């Protein structure tokens, strides 16, 4: 995938000319996936495992190559004529698409120098930014979506004492997230501030231990 499902049917696949990318290609530069590997490790293959272009250092062991393959996409590049490439993942427990912004680190005429980041709490929950949708998303250790927080808001937004009272958690460009056992801290680069979000639950249940 190159963009979240919520963008389906809303983006132009091509630009005004063959040399110019469309909205879909530009948005693909924003998004990447979070991949969880077990301690035994794994590999990400670019194009095809037979080409030996991967994230591995050295020759992968046979037990890794025998593991199931998860198919995916590589981001389009100017060198590829803005065509989406193919990727394959082996040894991963799961992958979650929607992490944004994702920085590109190989030769490109497009600057992607932002250092987006995600964090994991003591329960194995993953907190990551979705900058194109102005929010933070949260999944559990098994890659189940728990929820999201944040909506678009500028520097005038920010709670009961702000010029604009809504939204409750304003974000313009969430870049990276750090999380503790009580709060999440979101670096919002466009608004030039760190948003501190208290983590609470809506329901509580208990049981007796005999």
pLDDT of res. 101: 87
Identify the pLDDT of residue 116. 87
Pair 166, 209 in one domain = yes
Residue where a domain stops, chosen among 76, 100, 124: 100
- Measure the CA–CA gap between 86 and 74, rounded to whole angstroms: 5
pLDDT beyond 80 at 110: no
Identify the weakest region by mean pLDDT among 16-20, 48-52, 164-168: 48-52
pLDDT in tens, 82-105: 455 677 888 889 989 889 887 655
Domain boundary among 100, 133, 148: 100
Residue 107 in any domain: the answer is: no
pTM exceeds 0.85: no
Distance, in Å, from the CA atom of 12 to the CA atom of 147, rounded to the nearest integer, reads 29
Beta bridge partners of 5: none
Q: Give a yes or no: residue 108 inside a domain.
A: no
Given 78, 100, 122, which residue is the final one in a domain?
A: 100
How far apart (Å, rounded) are the C-alpha atoms in residues 5 and 150? 19
Number of independent structural domains in the chain = 2
pLDDT tens digits, residue range 31-44?
Answer: 888 999 988 888 88
177-199: average pLDDT: 95
**CA dihedral sign of residues 163, 164, 167, 168:** positive
Return the DSSP state at 110.
Answer: S
**Other CB atoms within 10 Å distance of the CB of residue 152:** 13
- Report for 37-41, 150-154, 162-166, 199-203: range of highest mean pLDDT: 150-154
pLDDT on residue 75: 62
- Cα–Cα separations (whole angstroms), residue 162 to 52, 150, 159, 183, 209: 55, 16, 6, 21, 47
Residues 118 and 200 in one domain: yes
Q: What is the pLDDT of residue 89?
A: 86
Residue 109 inside a domain? The answer is no
Q: Output the pLDDT for position 15.
A: 59
Q: Which domain holds residue 170?
A: 114-210
Q: Give yes or no: residues 54 and 149 share one domain.
A: no
Residue 54 pLDDT level (bands cut at 50, 70, 90): low
Does pLDDT of 79 surpass 60? no
* pLDDT number for residue 86: 73
User: What pLDDT does 124 receive?
Assistant: 94
Residues 140/124, Cβ–Cβ less than 8 Å:
yes
Q: Are residues 20 and 87 located together in one domain of the fold?
A: yes
Q: Between the CA of residue 111 and those of 26, 104, 139, 188, what are the distances in Å? A: 12, 8, 29, 19
């Amino acid at each position: 995938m190159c963009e979240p499902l919520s963008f389906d049917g809303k983006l132009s696949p091509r630009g005004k000319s063959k040399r110019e990318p469309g909205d879909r290609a530009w948005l693909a530069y924003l998004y990447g996936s979070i991949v969880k590997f077990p301690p035994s490790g794994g590999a990400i293959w670019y194009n095809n495992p037979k080409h030996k272009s991967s994230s591995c250092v050295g020759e992968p062991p046979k037990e890794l190559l025998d593991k199931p393959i998860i198919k995916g996409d590589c981001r389009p590049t100017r060198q590829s004529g803005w065509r989406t490439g193919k990727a394959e993942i082996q040894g991963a427990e799961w992958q979650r698409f929607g992490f944004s912004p994702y920085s590109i680190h190989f030769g490109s005429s497009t600057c992607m120098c932002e250092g987006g980041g995600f964090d994991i709490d003591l329960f194995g929950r993953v907190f990551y930014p979705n900058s194109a949708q102005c929010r933070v998303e949260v999944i559990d250790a098994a890659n189940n979506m728990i929820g999201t927080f944040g909506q678009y808001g500028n520097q005038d937004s920010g709670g009961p004492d702000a010029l604009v009272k809504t939204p409750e958690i304003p974000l313009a460009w969430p870049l990276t997230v750090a999380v503790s056992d009580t709060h999440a801290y979101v670096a919002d680069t466009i608004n030039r501030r760190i948003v501190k979000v208290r983590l609470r639950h809506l329901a509580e249940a208990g049981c007796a231990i005999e």
